[in-house]
Amino acid sequence: MRSRSKDNIIEEIQECVHKYGISTFHFTDELFTSNRRRVWELCEAILEMHLNIKWVCTARAQGLDLETLKLMKRAGCHEISFGIESGNQTMLNSIDKHLDLKKAADIISLTKKAGIITHATYMFGYIGETEQTMQETLDFAKSLNTHVAGFFIASPLPGTPLYEEASQKGYLRKSATWIDYSPLSNQKSVLELPTLSTYKIRSFHRNALKKYYTRPSYIWLRLKGIRRWHDIVNLFGGLRLLFKIKK
């Protein structure tokens, strides 16, 4: 792993702010919070330079503490995206995702306590997945109740271990085209699993979106976070979109 220095990052942010008037940033480093000292140095530099920016980042749901999260908030952190993937520990182990679900839940709670918007991502339809494990993932997502939950269908991109395993086991749908491999496409799963049909995966995915975002506890979470009229428009606009999703 190779990290950019704090000074290098700050220099680029200053250029964006002073030369181009940019005030919102996204740190796409998936291991952004893995080095606590580096996070502190960067946040303290942002505060010392009075950059007055807002930013979002991705992080592993592990190794974070409330003190660090509060500093990130003061330095302009608006939202953190956590890759959870599954609410079933066996599935997590099968994809080499070294994540303790209990600790992940604790960190999500601390992030909310620090006043930062939480975003979590999950996937359905990985090899070994069953309707039960998908339901456990949805239930876990509900229990975390993050401000945003992204549900995706596992995509065996060529060149990845998932693709190689699926190819060897004959799980790749022969009629699949390149667009089907996009995790953001509106197509059915590329994987034809012995435990789940492509129809079941797609149907569960669509229903998961509806079930998550139409819960009273979720709507209440978003209502508590309303600060501007724009927030209300976004909330109800999103709900209208959900009701249009086809099974």
Question: CA dist 10 to 16, 28, 55, 246, Å?
Answer: 10, 15, 13, 45
Residue 136 has pLDDT above 90, yes or no: yes
Q: What is the pLDDT of residue 241?
A: 60
Q: 236 pLDDT exceeds 70?
A: no
Residues 189, 198 contacting (CB under 8 angstroms): yes
Non-local (6+) Cβ contacts of 74 within 8 A are: 43, 47
Quick check: 39 and 69 in contact, CB under 8 A?
Answer: no
Closest among 144, 164, 154 to 102, alpha carbons compared: 144
pLDDT at residue 245, as a whole number: 58
What b/e readout covers 108-126, taking b as 16+ CB neighbours within 10 angstroms?
Answer: bebbbebebbbbbbbbbbb
Q: What is the rounded distance in angstroms from the CA atom of residue 140 to the CA atom of residue 19?
A: 44
Number of other CB atoms surrounding residue 165 within 10 Å:
12
Confidence of residue 96 (pLDDT cuts 50, 70, 90): confident
Rounded mean pLDDT, 213-230: 79
pLDDT at residue 145 greater than cutoff 80: yes
* Cα–Cα distance for residue pair 64/100, rounded to 1 Å: 13
Answer whether residue 234 shows pLDDT above 70: no
Domains plus CATH for the chain? 6-153 (3.20.20.70)
Q: What's the confidence (pLDDT) of residue 1?
A: 76
